[in-house]
Amino acid sequence: MKLDVLLGLQWGDEGKGKVVDFLTPHYDVVARFQGGPNAGHSLEFNGIKHVLHTIPSGIFHPEKINIIGNGVVIDPIVFKKEIEALNDRKTDLQNLFISRKAHLILPTHRLLDAASEASMGKSKIGSTLKGIGPTYRDKTGRNGLRVGDTFMPDFRARYQKLVDEHLKQLQLYDYQSDYRTEEKEWFAAIDLLKRFTAVDSEYLINRYLSENKSILAEGAQGTMLDIDFGSYPFVTSSNTVCAGACTGLGVPPSRIGEVFGIVKAYCTRVGSGPFPTELFDETGEQLRRKGGEFGATTGRPRRCGWLDLPALKYSIMINGATALIMTKADVLSGFSTVKICTHYKINGQLTDQIPFDVNTDITPVYKEMSGWGSDISHHSTYDDLPTELKDYLSFIEQETGVPFKIISVSPAREKTIIR
């Protein structure tokens, strides 16, 4: 059996949570492979919206196994809040497993994130301030604390050693903040975390594959936020691309099956960094309003713009996407025309490649297409969709060479069309 991967092809918030929840019935296992509580994955069924940050989006299907993989960074405090929200909804959490190798976000990691951002002024990354960067930095610096360490007798001492190191760094930033109250909360949350089954998830996942169990790996963020391939330094600190599923779960590349790439019908971005098709006018405002484009984690307004084909082609190339999924085409309903950026103009030259320098002055070159006037959220088959939308999808397919297999037409679970 192979492991399928579902990931974002833009700057995050493509609708991964909704589609993973929709696809979960087709799988035995859902596993998160990177990122942490910087993610906000929304899903909706029976008229209720849920937002998940650390827990895989398959959790509302009690018979399925959900795994938080080694590539994820966990903030026990956020995790506890998520668990409490799920308990309130009487969700069965028996089948939630956590990798012993997943790294822990400490309260001081969050302070370091805030201190670093504050020190950068206008050039800040616009991070979610969840401590993601400092935690991955400790992971690669080989100082990190992992879920498995919480069971060791010297855990407190190792925690204190790392905190002492963080306090020295905070002093350099001249950043004062009391972390002691949070520390108590953090240790209480560690106690809760330890009640879940900690696993060697690489063994477990590979065993499941050899037992012919089907697994869906759920990405967080998006390809354009990848630490290697995104618009560095305006990126997150993990590999959000398909290769991240291998390192974040311990699955060999030869075991990767379908790679589902999610594309929002337009683009959004939260935080700083280049966004060639960003709209600063009424159209951008309309996209934000109609699309409810406010961060699921931070509540920040998302920057909005037209679909960016050079970025999309790049993401498809890096991930080897085998199928595309479009979300939020319903948000574009009512626009008389819609635009797709096919090329960038840089120094008077047309290109469809992403430049190395994030400060490059890019003028997007657009193809304008007819919009689809009607509400599409009641459609349940591909054939029923308006011709103009089908033309929009076909154009993207021709340009990228990858077919759309799923079209989502509303936040609700059931409003999803399989082609």
Residues in contact with ligand GDP by the rule CB under 6 A: 8, 12-18, 39-42, 44, 292, 296, 327-328, 330-331, 408-411
Stretch that binds ligand IMO, among 39-47, 78-86, 252-260, 350-358 (CB under 6 A): 39-47
- 38 lies in the site for ligand IMO, by CB under 6 A: yes
CA distance 221 to 39: 6
User: 115 or 389: whose CB is closer to ligand IMO?
Assistant: 115
User: 327 or 342: whose CB is closer to ligand IMO?
Assistant: 327
CB of 107 to ligand IMO, least distance (A): 16
φ, ψ of residue 301 in degrees (nearest 5): -65, 135
Q: Which of 7, 145, 209, 270 binds ligand IMO (CB under 6 A)?
A: 270
* CB 18, CB 327: distance < 8 Å: yes
First vs last C-alpha separation in the chain: 23
Given ligand GDP, Mg ion, ligand IMO, none, residue 331, with its beta carbon under 5 to 8 Å by kind, binds ligand GDP
- 274 lies in the site for ligand IMO, by CB under 6 A: no
Exposed, middle or buried, 8 (CB in 10 Å: 0-12/13-18/19+)?
Answer: buried
Name the residue number minimizing CB distance to ligand IMO.
271
Q: How many CB atoms lie within 10 A of CB 287?
A: 25
In degrees, rounded to 5, the angle at the alpha carbon of residue 230 between the alpha carbons of residues 228 and 236 is 80
DSSP track, 397-417: HHHH---EEEEE-SSBTT-EE
* CB 199, CB 100: distance < 8 Å: yes
- Whether 13 is a known active-site residue: answer yes
Q: Token pair for residue 330?
A: 């319903």
Q: Which of 91, 126, 137, 163 binds ligand IMO (CB under 6 A)?
A: 126
What is the DSSP secondary structure assignment for residue 115, as one 8-state letter? Answer: H
Given ligand GDP, Mg ion, ligand IMO, none, residue 261, with its beta carbon under 5 to 8 Å by kind, binds none
- 39 lies in the site for ligand IMO, by CB under 6 A: yes
* CB 257, CB 212: distance < 8 Å: no
- CA 262, chain centre distance (Å): 10
CB of 236 to ligand IMO, least distance (A): 3
Give Cβ neighbours of residue 317 (< 8 Å, ≥ 6 apart): none
Q: Is 170 helix (H, G, I), strand (E, B) or coil?
A: helix
Q: Token pair for residue 139?
A: 């992971």
Active-site residue (options: 13, 75, 138, 330): 13
- 8 lies in the site for ligand IMO, by CB under 6 A: yes
CB of 356 to ligand IMO, least distance (A): 19
Q: Is 91 helix (H, G, I), strand (E, B) or coil?
A: coil
**Contacting residues toward Mg ion, per CB under 5 A:** 13, 40, 296
Q: Which of 271, 274, 310, 411 binds ligand IMO (CB under 6 A)?
A: 271
For residue 233, is the peptide bond before it cis, meaning its omega torsion is within 30 degrees of 0? yes
CB of 113 to Mg ion, least distance (A): 18
In one letter, which amino acid is 307?
L
Given Mg ion, ligand IMO, ligand GDP, none, residue 373, with its beta carbon under 5 to 8 Å by kind, binds none
Q: How many CB atoms lie within 10 A of CB 317?
A: 12
Stretch that binds ligand IMO, among 5-13, 43-51, 102-110, 307-315 (CB under 6 A): 5-13
* CB 147, CB 193: distance < 8 Å: yes
Given Mg ion, ligand IMO, ligand GDP, none, residue 109, with its beta carbon under 5 to 8 Å by kind, binds none
Given Mg ion, ligand GDP, ligand IMO, none, residue 271, with its beta carbon under 5 to 8 Å by kind, binds ligand IMO
* CB 52, CB 43: distance < 8 Å: yes
Active-site residue (options: 41, 103, 109, 343): 41
Q: Which of 24, 54, 128, 400 binds ligand IMO (CB under 6 A)?
A: 128
* CB 263, CB 9: distance < 8 Å: yes
Given Mg ion, ligand GDP, ligand IMO, none, residue 133, with its beta carbon under 5 to 8 Å by kind, binds ligand IMO
Contacts with ligand IMO by CB under 6 A lie at 8, 11-13, 35, 38-41, 125-128, 130, 132-133, 220-222, 225, 236-237, 270-271, 296
Catalytic residues: 13, 41
